[in-house]
A and B are shown apart, each in its own frame.
Chain A
Amino acid sequence: MFKKLKHLWHVIRRLSGDDAYEQYLKHHAEFHQSSIDVPPPLSRKEFFKLWQDKQWKGVKRCC
């Protein structure tokens, strides 16, 4: 039961974008660690700005 609730919470966080920064850090660590000249990851605030602006570029909501 507790495990299921935890999973649901995880899904809600992912759906809403609440954990987007954590996902970004994970992606950054996974894909950009090997090269030396890659800049350090963005701060939470900077990342969120970019993420939010990017989200509203295309058709996102329907009738």
Chain B
Amino acid sequence: MNKNFKLMWWVLVAIIGAYAVAGIALNRGESINAIWLITAALCVYAIAYRFYAAWIAAKVLVIDETRATPAERLDNGRDFIPTNRWIVFGHHFAAIAGPGPLIGPTLAAQFGYLPGTLWILIGAVLGGAVQDMVTLFFSTRRNGRSLGQMARDEIGAVGGTAALVGTFMIMIILIAVLGLVVVNAMKHSPWATSTVAATIPIAMIVGIYMRNIRPGCVLEASVIGVVLLLLSVWMGGWINQHETLRVWFDHEGLPLAYAIILYGFAAAVLPVWLLLAPRDYLSTFMKLGTIILLAVAIVILRPEIHMPALTQFIDGTGPIFGGKLFPFVFITVACGAISGFHALIASGTTPKLLMNERDIRMIGYGGMLLESFVAIMAMIAATVLEPGVFFAINSPAGVVGKEAVDAVAKINSWGFAVTVEQMQQLARDMGESTLFARTGGAPSLAVGMASIFGSAFGKHLLALWYHFAIMFEAIFILTTLDAGTRVGRFMLQDMLGNFNKKLGETSYTPSVIFTSSVVVAGWGYFLYIGVIDPNGGVNILWPLFGIANQMLAAIALCVATGILVKSGKLKYAWVTGLPLLWLVVITTTASYQKVFSTDIRVGFLAAADDLASKLYSGVLPPEKAAVAPQLIFNQHLDAYLTLFFVVVLWVVIVDMLRLCLRYVAGKPVRKLSEVPHEPSRLVENWVRD
């Protein structure tokens, strides 16, 4: 009876889910309610988690509850600590959930709400969550080894080096694009700039409090910090009204970019306790709090989605980024569906905390589902805006024109209604001087969130909500920027340590300053180019980031597929093999198009040639001609970088295939590096003989 009831329950979930997915996919009416997206997502996740993830755990990975985890065997009270699964889930989710799933779907909304939403759902349950879960499992069986080490041990030195270099490159591009998003959100906005600036001293106050005033009182300090942050949002409004003070915080993009670069260097060199650690506490609390608030607001409000299911920009002419629906929707959504970066977390701290292997499904698979749900909410926040408003905010001046009248005329010509007065009123409501051409995704997400929060919790506070949303995005973008710069520094020191012992010492000051400078200069360069690019650097940097991120995911899936084949599970290799195949197809196609396409908004080389011929024929206005040589150089550099990513990816794939073929042919291969079975003493029902 009980079993039948359960079966009926799951059939019901399946029917509701199928109905909701069909509803959003087939709807061609005026608008659709956001609750459809939420319902579809929750049903898809529930079924995938209950059946697919459980099947992978039982049949493919063969999770063994009686086996002692590294946390149990190597328990040292420091890195290896057996921890309750909800606690591990919290740590894991806080680590994987960054700004990516908020920005990616917002940008991908230029194709309409449907393609991005479908990929966020399908990509997560069949790709991203599988990647996170199998990586977590394999790392747990190898004493919590990192992805790079596993690639070296299981596939070969080539794969290991590729994973290491890939991680380093993705970090550089990621930080640059995130820096660009923050710069675009602060450009000529005294309110946003002063609030973001205030987060630095606030983090320091919290840091000093935790270190010296009340050592280790993390929660107390964080509460003080959060209160100060909210106060700074409110103070920002006051500064915005103040005639002399507002000038201090009203800047062009370039000085803001220099400030971010300087800040990034300071954050990498300063001790962690002063800036990085306290900022991370604040950003984690803000992140979790705001995500919960957004979910509650969407459920209370059930907003209508105004963006059509598909826009005409699936043909590749979109204003936010050039490129057709295939493959660019997959590259753009990136983190919300599948993120290679997660493999670094799933093979880092998380496996060292697991108390039992059975927690792997919940933490690896479940954690990614929650991240995917954040991406769905970002998609909703972007698509509840009128499409005309969405494109007015997100289209760069280089595409729609500098003047408001031109921009509005251009957007109207695409068939999306918007007026200059409407945009001016919106900007006034949000406490901004203008909302035209505020690219990068953060401002449009903030407008979307502000309108949702405003409708749910009071409309008169729109400007406060808007700047709260900007502060929330900025604070954890800056955390990723700090943490990424630092990790990049450690990786570089580690690599240089092979050549010079002294350079490899993480506390040797000249080495710290040198390596930090190299890392900051690396992303600082891309940030600088992104800011001076009249077409908005997002068009260049985000696809580059997406390609790098999906490439890293492909490497992780390569390692997993190789291990599955070597473990004699060839018949299950499709579980990681199919998502891998898909990632290879999309990254290779996207890379090919980014390098060789003749469309100047897609192909790097075509764009460089076009700009060069315009420069030599003298048709460029002087301010554009001044930066043209740098832009041409950068387009070439980006082309080579993309080629480099693809080559790295294919080298790893060929290496993995060679290994699999050798294994299938019965030839000797590298031995599995799995740690031998040891019975767990933590399992209650385990009986010692």
Contacts and interface: CB of A to CB of B under 8 A. Distances in A.
B95 A16 contact: no
B335 A63 contact: yes
B77 A60 contact: no
A54 B549 CA distance: 27
Interface residues of B, number: 54
Contacts of B98: 61-63
A31 B74 CA distance: 13
B342 A62 contact: yes
Interface stretch (B213-221, B413-421, B525-533, B594-602): B213-221
A11 B484 CA distance: 28
Most chain B beta-carbon neighbours within 10 Å: one of A18, A53, A56: A56
Interface in A5-26: 11-18, 20-21, 23-24
A13 B218 CA distance: 9
Contacts of A57: 490
Given A13-B219, A15-B90, A63 B479 contact: no
Contact of A15 (B87, B272, B490): B87
Q: Chain A interface residue count: which class?
A: 20 to 34
Interface in B58-99: 77-79, 81, 83-84, 86-87, 90-91, 94-99
A62 B344 contact: yes
Given A12-B219, A15-B90, A48-B211, A61 B480 contact: yes
A18 B217 CA distance: 6
A33 to B, nearest CB: 13
Interface stretch (B24-32, B106-114, B194-202, B274-282): B274-282
Given A14-B87, A15-B91, A59 B348 contact: yes
Contacts of A21: 216
Contacts of A49: 211, 273
A15 B341 CA distance: 22
B561 to A, nearest CB: 22
> Main SS of chain A's interface residues?
helix
Most chain A beta-carbon neighbours within 10 Å: one of B212, B216, B549: B216
A28 B75 CA distance: 12
A14 B84 contact: yes
A63 B90 CA distance: 17
Given A24-B77, A53-B273, A60 B483 contact: yes
A46 to B, nearest CB: 9
Nearest to A61: B483
B344 A18 contact: no
A34 interface: no
A3 interface: no
A20 B281 CA distance: 15
B348 A58 contact: yes
B86 A11 contact: yes
A58 B277 contact: no
In the A-B complex, list the 6 residue pairs whose CB atoms are closest, starting with the nearest: A27-B77, A63-B100, A61-B483, A48-B216, A45-B215, A15-B90
Interface of B: 77-79, 81, 83-84, 86-87, 90-91, 94-100, 146, 174, 178, 210-212, 215-219, 222, 271-273, 276-277, 280-281, 334-335, 339, 341-342, 344-345, 348-349, 479-480, 483-484, 486-487, 490, 545, 549
13 contacts: A11-B84, A45-B212, A45-B215, A47-B216, A55-B272, A59-B483, A60-B348, A60-B349, A61-B98, A61-B280, A62-B339, A63-B98, A63-B334
